[in-house]
Structure 1
Amino acid sequence: MNRRPPLKLLPVVLGLCSTQAGAAGFQLLEQNASGLGNAYAGSAALGENASTVFYNPAAMTLLAPRAVSGGLAAIRPSFKFSDDGSSAGALAGSGDGGDAGNWGYVPNGYLSWQLQPDLWIGLGLGAPFGLRTDYQRPWLGSAHSDYFEIKTLNINPSIAWKINDFVSLGAGLNWQRFEAEYKRAAGILSPVLANTELTLKLDDDSWGWNAGALFTLSPQTRVGLSYRSRIGYDLSGDIKADGPSAALNAAASSDAKARLMLPDTWILSLVHDFDARWTLLADVSRTGWGSIQRIDIKRDSGPLAGSTAQTLATDFRDAWRVALGVNYRYAEDLTLKFGTAWDQTPVRGASERLVSLPDNNRLWLSAGVQWKPNPDSAVDFGVAHLFVNDARIDNDQSSGQGVAAKGRIKGDYEDDAWVLGVQYSMNF
């Protein structure tokens, strides 16, 4: 259902969330910058600042009585397609679409407050999912996708309970807003279809939950376990056609709806202090991308009401991520951070890969620095380069669905990404 958020500032915040996927699929791990230097290793056990509200609310019990944190991540992916035998009908020979990646920005903000010696509450604001691919059009794959964007906004009130010196528990609710915009050529069977642009806009808001536990095995060693639930959406919006034929524009324009189930995520983390200077961080996580097998976009009005305008046959699989990091406390006020991670794509193979999400497995190499101008504040800077495996695509939609056939896109993607982050944290 299409419920508009009551807060007037939400459209402004969503406008800032011009997002590009940093992690595999369209997940955004970049919910702080303090973890970026470690490739987000140890995220559910570190409890370094108030951003633990997102990664594991139980770790709020490690924080000062009041803590705030806010930052911004800038993500610059690159998606460059090289044709190798595509058959796109009337659009054949129209080009490779240039670089479909561009800069995207992910803001975040958090607050943690100790109410009693064993009880904390927190609030988080972030964007856990996002994606944008934008091709120079027209191109060979224009009937598949010219432009695709996903934005989310997540508001996450949380609570944590310190049971004793060894065990803490935490939980939270998540109100999440989802918006999607998708543009493509209507088809390839005629010049009229090829020159008619279909624009789909869908949105909804929904609720989910998260929970976590923190185990302090010794003064030097902590283990964290956290879970974020699936969130289901009944998306609604419209399809608008814009082209040379008024009759086609009228027939192809309608209200639209779709059902989407965003995945859940498990994280198991370890943090171990070897001594006063060296800290080891490790992560294993699993994201349940198998919840997205296909997305049927249905027409909900007009002469074609009840028909399927398009099916996005993702056929996603669940995906794993493994990360390892280390911190070196160079001085009382300066910590150096390093990390690496292997991130598995949910895309099964070339036939299931979409031009709107030309994703593949990736290797993270990260570095960062934390500077403490005083004992109660910290400034973090982080940078990561994501080496993404070249992605083979052979997506054949020649038989047509919805308005018309879309052709076969066959070739290779050369992908990579840079992530930059900055964050300020304070205790008071």
Structure 2
Amino acid sequence: MKRVTNRTLLSAAIALATFQAHGAGFQISEHSASGLGRAFAGEAAIADNAAVAVRNPAAMTMFDSAQLSGGISFIQPDVNAKVNTVGTNPASAIPNTTSDHSGVAPDAIVPNIHYVRPLNEKSAIGVSAFSNFGLATEYPSDSAAGLIAGQTELTTVDFNVNYAYKITPEWSLGFGLNAIYADASLVRNAGAAAFSSTDLQNLGLTSPSDQVTNLKGDGWGFGWNVGVLWEINENNRLGLSYRSETDITLEGDYRGTSSPSTVINNTTVPGELELNLPDILEFSGYHKLAPKWAIHYSAMRIGWSSFQELRATGSSCTSTAGAGVCLQKDEKWDDSWRYAVGATHYLNNQWTLRAGIALDESPVPDSHRTMSIPDTERNWYSIGATYKASDNLTIDGGFAYLKGDTVSGTETEGGVPFTFEAGGDAYIYAISANYTF
């Protein structure tokens, strides 16, 4: 049972975070309520509030006054899973077991705040705090799939400082630095299916809900971002931006049961995991076709090919991958694309209406889909509005419905075979305020 009991330091925490029906992989795009209302179409070119600094720092040169923007997004997933254990002979070793779970992805609140300040007619600075990756899953402690399910949480916070300069009346460049904090926790249980195995009983476990793994860890990583904006004319502009890959070393503690051949036996030991957050390339366009109508679009490539494996290490660990290796699991994700198109209607002096649709590709190949990563393609349908409360204050609201497919797969963990079906939808609500000084 080494592969079960020696899981350490967040390896499955990152994998299970993907089980939510939000952005593909474990990406979060909720940087503004206005962006949500148009399915984040045109984000690197529109610049209707200070949140644009996150998507394209070059667009900060479009501001002629300082602005503070902040808001929250409420993510409400509706994710269900059915897990079957394939029985072994004799059946008393591992019986056929089925678990149906609903609402395994909890609700989440994602805040954001941004500030942009022009320095002169040609340059501007900005600071932002937001999240690009994260969220969680919660399975019952007595689930049949306790070995591959449980409670998992991954949270990241990105602190971004940006500078932009207008090199000509049409062209602007931007550059930023990022400090990213990541925190994760993971709990795994024996599970009703694997609990019948002699190996687990020999470890002194008395119930399927007994914990076999409990770990926590955190760490910091640093990256950069750049962008360019081409203002073709007053009504047409294009934006291109790039956010670098960020490597974070998560350091923390592991506590759990272990096979007698290792020294980990209900004690706490240190360990670490290298987390590679993907790079992001985005191209956007904005075109005002009439006094009251505009269209916008985006194509975003997320470099998930950096997520090739989960490798957790610790001096006290032993696994089939060798001494000092707590977990070695191939993921082999592919780069994925997100496409969005939207429209804005400038209704009157007080109200702006918007809508958008998007296609969010999954980075998980069918050949490597597991219970911990049953990621699927998603379709976004969004609407939103902005209300101008005064010359200085505007209020944004947005709503998106994300429809995901149902997928199936097989997985063996700790010698226990599983088959599964998983899928679901999500609803995202956002509100934000923008104050111009």
TM-score exceeds 0.5: yes
2:221 match: 206
1:263 match: 278
1:121-149 residue CA offsets vs partner (Å, 9 max, x unmatched): 00000111112011122212210121221
1:97 match: 101
Alignment gaps of 5+ in structure 1? 1-18
Structure 1 position 295, deviation (Å): 0.8
1:59-94 residue CA offsets vs partner (Å, 9 max, x unmatched): 111123201100001111122112456459658536
Structure 1 position 23, deviation (Å): 0.8
- Aligned counterpart in structure 2 of residue 346 of structure 1, from 357, 360, 363: 363
Give yes or no for contact 2:87–2:94 (8 Å, CA) kept in 1: no
Q: For the residues of structure 2 that align with 1:371 and 1:270, how far apart are their CA atoms?
A: 24
Aligned CA RMSD, in angstroms, stands at 2.4
Q: For the residues of structure 2 that align with 1:408 and 1:329, how far apart are their CA atoms?
A: 56
Matched, 1:160 2:164: yes
Give yes or no for contact 1:393–1:410 (8 Å, CA) kept in 2: yes
Alignment of 1:403-418 (within 5 A): 405=415, 407-418=416-427
Q: For the residues of structure 1 that align with 2:377 and 2:356, how far apart are their CA atoms?
A: 17
Q: For the residues of structure 2 that align with 1:303 and 1:261, how far apart are their CA atoms?
A: 23
**SS of corresponding position for 2:34:** coil
1:222 match: 237
Matched, 1:382 2:386: no
Structure 1 position 28, deviation (Å): 0.5
Give yes or no for contact 2:84–2:96 (8 Å, CA) kept in 1: no
Alignment of 1:14-413 (within 5 A): 22-83=22-83, 86-87=86-87, 90=94, 93=97, 95-185=99-189, 188=194, 189=197, 190-191=200-201, 192=204, 195-241=210-256, 250=265, 253-301=268-316, 306-349=323-366, 351-397=367-413, 400=414, 405=415, 407-413=416-422
Q: 1:55 to 1:296 in 2, by over 3 A?
A: same
Q: For the residues of structure 2 that align with 1:313 and 1:78, how far apart are their CA atoms?
A: 28
Give yes or no for contact 1:371–1:380 (8 Å, CA) kept in 2: yes
Count of residue correspondences:
400
Letter in 1 for 2:237: R
Q: For the residues of structure 2 that align with 1:182 and 1:367, how far apart are their CA atoms?
A: 35
Structure 1 position 253, deviation (Å): 4.1
Q: For the residues of structure 2 that align with 1:87 and 1:222, how far apart are their CA atoms?
A: 60
**SS of corresponding position for 1:53:** helix
Matched, 1:424 2:428: no
**SS of corresponding position for 2:290:** coil
Q: For the residues of structure 2 that align with 1:303 and 1:359, how far apart are their CA atoms?
A: 30
Question: Aligned residues: percent identity?
Answer: 30
Give yes or no for contact 1:176–1:206 (8 Å, CA) kept in 2: yes
1:199-256 residue CA offsets vs partner (Å, 9 max, x unmatched): 122211011000000001122111000000000112211111169x9x9973664211
TM-score by length of 1: 0.88
Bigger mean CA offset, 387-396 vs 223-232? 387-396
Letter in 2 for 1:115: L
**SS of corresponding position for 1:354:** coil
Q: For the residues of structure 1 that align with 2:77 and 2:139, how far apart are their CA atoms?
A: 13
1:16 match: none
Give yes or no for contact 2:83–2:145 (8 Å, CA) kept in 1: no
Letter in 2 for 1:81: A
Q: 1:296 to 1:55 in 2, by over 3 A?
A: same
**SS of corresponding position for 1:95:** strand
Give yes or no for contact 1:122–1:159 (8 Å, CA) kept in 2: yes
Letter in 2 for 1:341: A
**SS of corresponding position for 1:177:** strand
Letter in 1 for 2:142: P
TM-score by length of 2: 0.86
1:299-357 residue CA offsets vs partner (Å, 9 max, x unmatched): 233788943323343221110000000011111110111000000011111x5223333
Q: 1:396 to 1:48 in 2, by over 3 A?
A: same
Give yes or no for contact 1:31–1:126 (8 Å, CA) kept in 2: yes
